[in-house]
């Protein structure tokens, strides 16, 4: 576990212990941006991996050595797939080497081409998975309240060349699934979901995984559920699952028999072992994330210009992302706040600034896309994602939120 140098807080005064050194933050002059030493010796990251029991992992690795079977649909991959499918209440989990390959294979298996509508406010992999396959990502605007696709904006972007929609369950909060399903049905479009953030989450009481034609998970090191690198496609469509199983293994249907074009998207046994270990900690990780989220909410309450993007308690959440929005009432601009936090070794992130449409590969195609994406631009300029999860202690959150409060000039 990350070991902050013990930290305690008492209202307006924060006392931080670094080994034998102490730093008190009582006012702005005690902040690192004003020349004081940083609050933390070690950098606090967004996305520090959740690593389950080392001894449990060692046992799995012993088995891998004993069997001398390290990849190509090994027994641990199959065991992990069964557990993930059951957890998400779907018929099929097709494990892959990472979430991006899983998206690419799903897109290809669904035979998308021409134009596909996606949000610009997402990790670049969502757009790249299309562009990489010579499909044009068409960016639709989001609802600023949810950060997810705005169905009305999706409708506006449909053309005769549109073949599909990729909804993203951003921050683990479900996209407007019902509305997107209605649009897809009306225009005869394929619909799939990038559920990279949504492991273990639900929509209207039903687990993510069954919606659209399929849904794609990421198990990257930084994700709630990690296999170091990894991903999967969840689906209830037997034929689609079978096709993707072929595609992730070069299309092999037997020793010398290739019956489908394919690539190498296989998950290896070490990754599956890490997944099986982490699977045992799902409830614990969710509980810890939830406690940290609630602590952040409590400690940041009442600071003008700071709001925490809420989770919907009527659904299952993994509480992985702690997303702040910095409003005009906060005395610093978002980027100044980020700078101040980084100076304290708090590596907050401005995900997903500046929006995919503003990244070079897409800006070159659509130099004026921003005109149709006002909510995306506004949200991308306001968001700060804070370190949270199993590697961040409650005491560290006391300090982090204390700093945000002092920066707001509201301490004491």
For ligand T4K, the binding residues (CB under 6 A) are 45-49, 98-100, 122-123, 125-126, 168, 194, 196-197, 218, 220-222, 231, 347, 351
Q: Which is nearer to ligand T4K, 140 or 411 (CB)?
A: 140
Q: Do the Cβ atoms of 394 and 295 come closer than 8 Å?
A: yes
Q: Which is nearer to ligand T4K, 30 or 194 (CB)?
A: 194
Q: Do the Cβ atoms of 387 and 403 come closer than 8 Å?
A: no
> Three-state SS for 12?
coil
Residue with the two structure tokens 């202690």: 393
Shortest Cβ distance from residue 338 to ligand T4K (Å)? 13
φ, ψ of residue 312 to 5 degrees: the values are -90, 105
Q: Which is nearer to ligand T4K, 30 or 104 (CB)?
A: 104
**How many helices and strands in the chain, by DSSP H and E?**
13, 19
DSSP-derived secondary structure letter, 229: S
Residue with the CB atom nearest ligand T4K in the bound state: 99
Q: Is 116 exposed, middle or buried (0-12, 13-18, 19+ CB in 10 A)?
A: buried
Q: Look up residue 253 and give its two tokens.
A: 């249907």
Q: Which is nearer to ligand T4K, 347 or 363 (CB)?
A: 347
Q: Which is nearer to ligand T4K, 267 or 303 (CB)?
A: 267
Shortest Cβ distance from residue 375 to ligand T4K (Å)? 18
Shortest Cβ distance from residue 42 to ligand T4K (Å)? 11
Shortest Cβ distance from residue 391 to ligand T4K (Å)? 8
Q: Which is nearer to ligand T4K, 356 or 408 (CB)?
A: 356
Q: Which residues contact 264 (CB under 8 A, 6 or more apart)?
A: 97, 248, 249, 250
Shortest Cβ distance from residue 126 to ligand T4K (Å)? 5
> Three-state SS for 232?
strand
Q: Which is nearer to ligand T4K, 270 or 303 (CB)?
A: 270
DSSP 280-314: TTHHHHHHHHHHHHHHHHHHHTT-TTEEEPPP-TT
H-run or E-run covering 104: helix 99-109
φ, ψ of residue 314 to 5 degrees: the values are -80, -10
Shortest Cβ distance from residue 20 to ligand T4K (Å)? 27
Shortest Cβ distance from residue 387 to ligand T4K (Å)? 9
Residue 379 CB coordination number (10 Å): 25
φ, ψ of residue 333 to 5 degrees: the values are -70, 160
Q: Which is nearer to ligand T4K, 218 or 235 (CB)?
A: 218
Q: Look up residue 384 and give its two tokens.
A: 């700060």
- Of 129, 140, 133, whose CA–CA distance to 113 is shortest? 133
Beta-sheet pairing, 162-168 with 346-347: unpaired
Q: Which is nearer to ligand T4K, 63 or 349 (CB)?
A: 349
Shortest Cβ distance from residue 357 to ligand T4K (Å)? 15
State how far the alpha carbon of 389 is from the alpha carbons of 19, 34, 71, 286, 295, in Å.
24, 29, 30, 9, 11
Shortest Cβ distance from residue 84 to ligand T4K (Å)? 14
């Amino acid at each position: 576990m990350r070991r902050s140098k013990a930290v305690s807080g008492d209202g307006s005064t924060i006392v931080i212990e670094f080994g034998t050194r102490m730093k008190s933050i009582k006012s702005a002059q005690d902040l690192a941006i004003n020349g004081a030493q940083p609050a933390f010796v070690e950098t606090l990251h967004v996305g520090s991996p959740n690593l389950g029991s080392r001894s449990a992992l060692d046992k799995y690795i012993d088995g891998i050595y004993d069997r001398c079977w390290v990849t190509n649909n090994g027994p641990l991959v199959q065991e992990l797939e069964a557990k993930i499918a059951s957890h998400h209440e779907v018929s099929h989990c097709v494990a892959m080497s990472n979430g991006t390959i899983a998206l690419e294979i799903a897109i290809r298996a669904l035979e998308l081409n021409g134009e596909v509508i996606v949000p610009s406010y997402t990790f670049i992999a969502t757009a790249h998975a299309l562009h990489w396959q010579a499909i044009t990502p068409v960016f639709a605007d989001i609802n600023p309240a949810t950060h997810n696709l705005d169905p009305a904006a999706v409708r506006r972007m449909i053309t005769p060349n549109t073949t599909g929609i990729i909804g993203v369950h951003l921050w683990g909060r479900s996209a407007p699934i019902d509305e997107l399903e209605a649009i897809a049905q009306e225009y005869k479009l394929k619909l799939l979901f990038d559920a990279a953030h949504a492991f273990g989450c639900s929509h209207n009481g039903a687990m993510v995984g069954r919606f659209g034609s399929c849904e794609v998970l990421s198990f990257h090191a930084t994700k709630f559920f990690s296999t170091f690198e990894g991903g999967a496609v969840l689906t209830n469509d037997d034929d689609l699952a079978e096709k993707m199983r072929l595609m992730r293994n070069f299309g092999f249907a037997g020793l010398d028999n290739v019956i489908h074009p394919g690539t190498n998207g296989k998950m290896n046994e070490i990754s599956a072992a890490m997944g099986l270990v982490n699977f045992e900690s799902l409830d614990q990780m969710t509980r810890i994330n939830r406690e940290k989220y609630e602590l952040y909410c409590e400690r940041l309450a009442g600071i003008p210009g700071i709001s925490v993007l809420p989770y919907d308690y009527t659904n299952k959440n993994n509480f992985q992302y702690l997303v702040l929005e910095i409003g005009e009432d906060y005395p610093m601009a978002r980027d100044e706040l980020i700078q101040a936090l980084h100076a304290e070794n708090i590596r907050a992130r401005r995900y997903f600034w500046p929006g995919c449409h503003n990244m070079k590969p897409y800006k070159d195609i659509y130099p004026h896309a921003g005109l149709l994406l006002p909510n995306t631009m506004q949200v991308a300029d306001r968001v700060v994602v804070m370190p949270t999860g199993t590697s961040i202690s409650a005491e560290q959150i006391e300090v982090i939120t204390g700093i945000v409060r002092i920066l707001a000039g509201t301490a004491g």
